Structure formats: structure tokens, C-alpha cells
Structure 1
Amino acid sequence: MSAVAWTATGSLAAWLWLLLGQGFFWRTDVRLPPRREPDAWPSVGVVVPARDEAAVLARSLPSLLAQDYPGRAEVFLVDDGSTDGTDELARALAERHGGLPLTVGSPGEPPAGWTGKLWAVRHGIGLARARDPEYLLLTDADIAHEPDSLRRLVAAAGSGGYDLVSQMARLRVESLWERLVVPAFVYFFAQLYPFRWIGRKGSRTAAAAGGCVLLRTDAAERARIPDAIRQAVIDDVALARAVKGAGGHIWLGLADGVDSVRPYPRLADLWRMVSRSAYAQLRHSVLLLVGTVAGLAVVYLVPPVALFAGLVTGDRAAAVTGALAWAVMTATYLPMLRYYRQPLALALLLPGTAFLYLLMTVDSAVQHYRGRGAAWKGRTYTRPDPTAPEPSPEQP
């Protein structure tokens, strides 16, 4: 066989393994596990870090304040140095909508060795723990929750004996670029962190979705959250690893009734979302970068290239193996498109979307070496500094 045919055969073998051996990552039926409501509902502190979120807060915060939760619950919104009136808007929304009690705090600028979000989360957890809650709900300021969201999360955690229950919020898919890129983002995440493996005791796979994480307070204390992960750019995965590493039982699945309201209308917006953390995901390793680029090329780009090259040159083996690999790839993407209620024909464009992600990953590395690192809302985070000082226990 030709070199193209051999490469396509390798790609097909990779796809058959992904289909059957990677935790059935492509299935979208991992939702909140079976649950029963407790006789006595535990108390919950809801922590919302927010930096310049006035544009989305009116669609997200009222949904938290309106939670139909039978137990005691309070919302703690932490303003992380906003300049757009996020704190004033939060207070106005609470006054207008009522519902759960709201406390708005601000910790000031983060010290060296902390990301802004995790410094805000630390302050929010400190405020919440003054009320001695049994659970903490860590949720982003762009996440809207259905009225029974908190109730369902707590019931699932109690029924399953989970220390951490996280839902991957359904991201917005309205613009052309969102339709092309967003379902693939969740698909790639599930491929990297198969949800079924995450919830399995004894499995080393750990991940969470930062937009919606319900965490037992005592589990947070055992794992030293957030102090132990204070420099993490990909803080949700780091949080899950810390909790699981401390003996916690965790769960992650796709959400129903938890939605992101943040728009990403342009390719540039989505590009920044992915590239700001892609190289951090690779632990700032050139070797991992090269391996990732090569893997994406072989797995996602070779099948269509082999098919069309085989048809043009008459290489039947290349055409057949390329077509089979592309068919398996397409089939694994269909469930995610159904979950996002998108046209199934978009599955044929997955190789092109993967190529975009390849470019975003390379750009992430380039920006890192230019000193721009993981830039987000006016802050830039470089490689974590292992010599950064531990936080003082008296800090809020």
C-alpha cells in the first residue's frame, strides 16, 4: 500500500479505538444520576466570581436568586475588580427580583501567585463559610440556572454519595461560528476527559466544568480548595483533580437546565476562549504541543485528505480507509450535534473545525512565548510559579 493508505489505516485504527475504548466519550446520555430528595435539605452557599459581567448578569443572577430550594441557601457574588458597575447591578437586581439573600463582596486585586478568579472564589468561600453551609455551589456569572437546578444538584450529590457534582453548561449556539465551534469544544473535552471514567471510583480521570460545580464543604477543606490550585488557569480540572486526589468521589455530565448566556458571535471571540488556555492544558510543553498537533492531523485531517487523494490518484486503499475513518468520526459527532439541536450535516465539517482548534493551540503557544500567556479580561497569566508563597490563614 501507499504511504497515504498506511497513514489512513492508522487513522482508522485510532478511530475504532476512540469509538470503543475511550469511555464511550461520544455518547451524550451522561446526565444527573438517579436521585432522591432528602428528608432535611442541607444548607448551600452559592459563590459567583464576577469580573466585568454587567452585560450578562441580568440574564444569569436572577436565575440564582429565584432558585426553588427547600433548604437554606445564600448567594455570594464576588466582584473581581470590575470597572463596568457589576457590583451595583448585582445589588439592583437583588432588590428588584428578591429571592435568595445576596451578599456582594470584593477582595481587591489578587496577590502574586493567584489567578483573579480563584482569589475571588477564595473570598466568596470565606464569606459563605461564615454561615457554615454543608455545600458550596461554584458557578460563573454567565451561567443561568433553571429554578430547580440547585435542588437537583444537591439531591444527586446526596443520593450518590458524591463530594463534587458538576454539570457542563449548555453553551450558546446562535451565530454561525458558535454552531461550528461550540459543540466541537464540548466533544473534544469529553474525548479528553470521558465522563464515564470521571465518575468511576478508582479511576484517575478527573475533570469538572467550572460553570457549575456543587462541592461538599468538608471535601473542599480536605482538598484545600482553592488554595491548592491558586495558580491554575484551567481551574475546573485542577479543582476536580484536587478533590479526587484527596479521596473525594466526583461526577461530571452534560446539563439540562444550566445554560451559558455569554455570546461568542465572532470567530475571534471563540479563538480567544480556546487559545487562552490551550497551551496551559499541555503544561507549556513543546513536546506535548508537537504530539498534539501531530495527533490532531492524523486523527482528524488525514481521513478526508486520504479519501480525496485516493479518488484523484486512483489509490483505492487510501480512498476506502479514508472514507471509513471519516465515517466513524462523523458518527461519533452526531450525538453532540443532537444535544445542541444543530443540523446533523455539520458533522461532515468536523475535520475543518479540528483544523481550527489545531491553529488555536499553536497560537496559544506562540502567545505564551511572546509573554502574553493566558490573557483574560485585562490580566495575563504565565507559567505557574512553584515558589509563589502560600496564603496566610488569616486572609479572608
Structure 2
Amino acid sequence: MSALTWIAAVSLLAWGWLLLGRGFYWRTDVRLPERRRTSTTTWPSVAVVVPARDEAALLPDTLGSLLTQEYPGHAEVFLVDDGSSDGTGDVARALAARLAASRKPPGLPLTVDSPGEPEPGWTGKLWAVRHGVVLARSKMPELDYLLLTDADITHNRDSLRELVSAARAADLDLLSLMARLRAANAWERLVVPAFVHFFALLFPFRRVNDPDSRTAAAAGGCMLLRDEAAERAGYPDSVRDAVIDDVALARAVRDSGGRIWLGLADRVRSVRPYPRLAGLWGMVARTAYAQLRHNPLLLLLTVAGLALVFLVPPVALAAGAATLDPWLAAAGGLAWALMAGAYMPMLRYYGQPLKASLLLPFTASLYLLMTVDSAVRHHRGRGAVWKGRAYARRANTAEEGAGT
């Protein structure tokens, strides 16, 4: 047997382990926990905190969906304008006034404020979240939950009620949903389902949800956090410089004794468009090297692992067919078939044709290049860049301890 045949065999074995030994990461049935149907009038109070930077174009859909939530308890929305230059705060106020005048009842009340530029040691988003949390606690002394949601996320009108019901029924301190990202154009359809697929591979949802597991993760677009758990974990101060702030929060909550849960969303969607590959590339490259703890050895191992698992199968199949080597072709073909089969549930979740599963090696090669580019950007001093702000690596960041 040739060296390539042995490598293909190792890739095939790796896929067998990924399918059976990685928490069934490929399944897409981890949805909102069973909700307790009740007629109680004592619903907990919730502060919805929305950090927003230059999101004026999206707010009519996203903020509008929050202000019109059908929630039986006391809930308020706090939008924190993080140094926007497009009139985000004014758009939010005008939208709230228009909805209040047109609806009976008027919907959830809105408070808009801005904390100014972040202090040293803080990322802009977490500085805005901190301001929003402090503001919410001052206006809602009996606060029970914080809903932390991004300004590009829309919610069904029953979203808040269902989130709270599920969190209470399962006694969760942090309940997070991976919002259904937009997959409308060709690049989004190619990259977005794979993004969620790879996230689940890195953080298998079932392991995250196992109280005995050390795997901790959350999805920052939609996180319902018990306020008591936030205080116990020292959030957001304890993760103030984290670029991957959702994973850092999940770890902080779990390490402070809290229960966490992560699943796929049915009622929560991202409406942020990515018309070109550059936008999606930047989304991944912004945090990929931080996830690897800015460690060159981990980068090398990741690149080698991606190549072995995702790129070797089609290469082996092609080489086996070209050289009439049945063992090489069989190992490569079977590994590719397992890869495609593992990807199909995510494609089905996003409403994409199952034949697109054959493109996963190409998409994985893009992610490999994005990861390398993330490291290059970091070593050039740009760090993570988001909407004009660059965050270079700081010592002892929250990501340093985030792992599985």
C-alpha cells in the first residue's frame, strides 16, 4: 500500500470516529428544550440588551421584532449605541415612537443610550453590554433575566416567552440559540451552513448541554442569562477583553456553578447580508486564530487536521481512479461519502440541496485559508477587526482558557 493509501485510511478512520465519537455533532435536532405550558401570571422580568454599532439599516426588522414581543411579564429593551456613525440611536428612537403610536398595547419600552468609547482593556461590544446591563439593573431592581441579542437578529413574536419558558423548565442559567444565519446568495449558501457545521464539530451541542462535560460554548446572537448567574460569574467584567465573548461567557457561567445549554434556533434569525465572499471571510478570520489561543502549534495542527479530514478524501479518490488503485479509491470515496452524509442534516436545516454536500471539501479549503489569514492578520498587529475597531492580542484573555 502506498503512503497516500495509508493517509486515506487514517482519514477514513477519523471520519468513523467523528460520526460516532464526537457527541453526534452532525445531528440538527438539538432545539429549544421542552417548555412548561402554564397559565401562571408570575412571569420573570427580562431586560433585553442590544449592543449596536452602525446598524441603522437593519433595526426596522431586528429592533422592531423585539419591541413587538408578546411577553406576559415585565420586559424592557435597552439598545446601546456603540459609537455609531449612521444614526443608529436616532433610528431606534424613531422606530420605537412609531410603533408606540400605532400599536395597542404599545409594546415593550425602549431605552437608548451610549457609553462612549470603550475603556482600555475592553472590547467595544462588551463595553456596550456592560453599559446596558448596568442601565437595566438601575431601571429594573427586581431583574431576573438578561436577553443578550445582537442588532442583526430578528425574533418571532413568541421568542422571548418561549426562551424564558424553556430556561425555567430546565432550570438553566444560560440558554443560547445559534440563530439561523442568512443563506440567500451563492456565497452564503456555500459558506454559512458549513460555518454552523464546523461550529458544532468544535463544540458538539450535546456535550455543551451535558452538566458533566467540560465543553462550554454559546452563540452570541441570542443568549438568555439569569441575572444572578451573571453576577456570580462577574459578567461582563470577567470576559471584558474576549473577542469570542459568547464562548467566554459560557465558560464563566459553567465554572461558577451554572447550567448552560446550546441549540439550533427555530424562532431566531440573522438578517445580516453577506453579498460577497470578503464579508464572510472577515467574519471567520476575525476570530479563528483567537479560538486557537494565538498558538502557532495549534494553528499547524489545525491546518493538518483540516487537510487530513476534509481534503484527503477527494484527492485520494481522484488519485486512486487515475492510478487504478482500488484500495486508495475505496478509502477516499468512502471517507468522502461519510463526510457528505454528516453534512446533509445541516444542509437540510438550511433548506439547501443535499448534493451540495459534495462541495464540503472545497468549502473546508476556504476555511483553512481563512484560519491562516486570521493568524497572518494577528501577527501583522491587526488582531480582530470589527467595524473599524482592531483588537490585538492581550495577555490572559478569556479565550486562553476556553476549550473543550
Residue in structure 1 matching 2:284, options 274, 284, 304: 274
Distance across 2 between alignment mates of 1:380 and 1:92: 31
Counterpart for residue 304 of structure 1:
314
For residue 162 of structure 1, give the secondary structure of its aligned residue in structure 2: coil
- Alpha carbons 1:309, 1:319 under 8 Å: kept: yes
Counterpart for residue 122 of structure 1:
130
Mark the runs of 5 or more structure 1 residues left unpaired by the alignment: 389-396
- Alpha carbons 1:232, 1:384 under 8 Å: kept: no
- Alpha carbons 1:113, 1:385 under 8 Å: kept: no
Q: Using the TM superposition, give the Cα deviation of residue 386 of structure 1 relative to its aligned residue in structure 2, in angstroms.
A: 4.2
Counterpart for residue 20 of structure 1:
20
Q: Using the TM superposition, give the Cα deviation of residue 37 of structure 1 relative to its aligned residue in structure 2, in angstroms.
A: 3.9
Q: Using the TM superposition, give the Cα deviation of residue 385 of structure 1 relative to its aligned residue in structure 2, in angstroms.
A: 3.2
Identity of aligned residues (%): 70
Counterpart for residue 263 of structure 2:
253
Q: Using the TM superposition, give the Cα deviation of residue 63 of structure 1 relative to its aligned residue in structure 2, in angstroms.
A: 0.2
User: Aligned pair 1:84/2:86, yes or no?
Assistant: yes
Distance across 1 between alignment mates of 2:73 and 2:279: 39
Partner deviation per Cα, 1:320-342 (whole Å, 9 max, x = no partner):
00001000000000000000001
- Alpha carbons 1:15, 1:325 under 8 Å: kept: yes
Distance across 2 between alignment mates of 1:268 and 1:35: 40
Distance across 2 between alignment mates of 1:386 and 1:349: 38
1:64-75 correspondence runs (5 A): 64-75=66-77
Counterpart for residue 46 of structure 1:
48
Distance across 2 between alignment mates of 1:43 and 1:37: 18
The aligned amino acid for 1:298 is L
Counterpart for residue 31 of structure 1:
31
Residue in structure 1 matching 2:148, options 135, 138, 143: 138
Distance across 2 between alignment mates of 1:73 and 1:258: 18
The aligned amino acid for 1:75 is V
The aligned amino acid for 1:32 is L
Count, aligned residues: 388
The aligned amino acid for 1:123 is H
The aligned amino acid for 1:30 is V
Distance across 1 between alignment mates of 2:56 and 2:156: 20
TM-score for the superposition, normalised by structure 1: 0.97
Counterpart for residue 231 of structure 1:
241
For residue 54 of structure 1, give the secondary structure of its aligned residue in structure 2: coil
1:323-342 correspondence runs (5 A): 323-342=333-352
Partner deviation per Cα, 1:354-390 (whole Å, 9 max, x = no partner):
00000000000001111111011010011123499xx
Counterpart for residue 394 of structure 1:
none
- Alpha carbons 2:320, 2:327 under 8 Å: kept: yes
1:189-268 correspondence runs (5 A): 189-268=199-278
TM-score for the superposition, normalised by structure 2: 0.95
User: Aligned pair 1:369/2:371, yes or no?
Assistant: no
Distance across 2 between alignment mates of 1:286 and 1:350: 25
For residue 27 of structure 1, give the secondary structure of its aligned residue in structure 2: coil
Distance across 2 between alignment mates of 1:96 and 1:292: 50
Distance across 2 between alignment mates of 1:360 and 1:161: 38
Residue in structure 2 matching 1:182, options 166, 169, 192: 192
User: Aligned pair 1:379/2:389, yes or no?
Assistant: yes
- Alpha carbons 2:242, 2:397 under 8 Å: kept: no
Distance across 2 between alignment mates of 1:335 and 1:385: 39
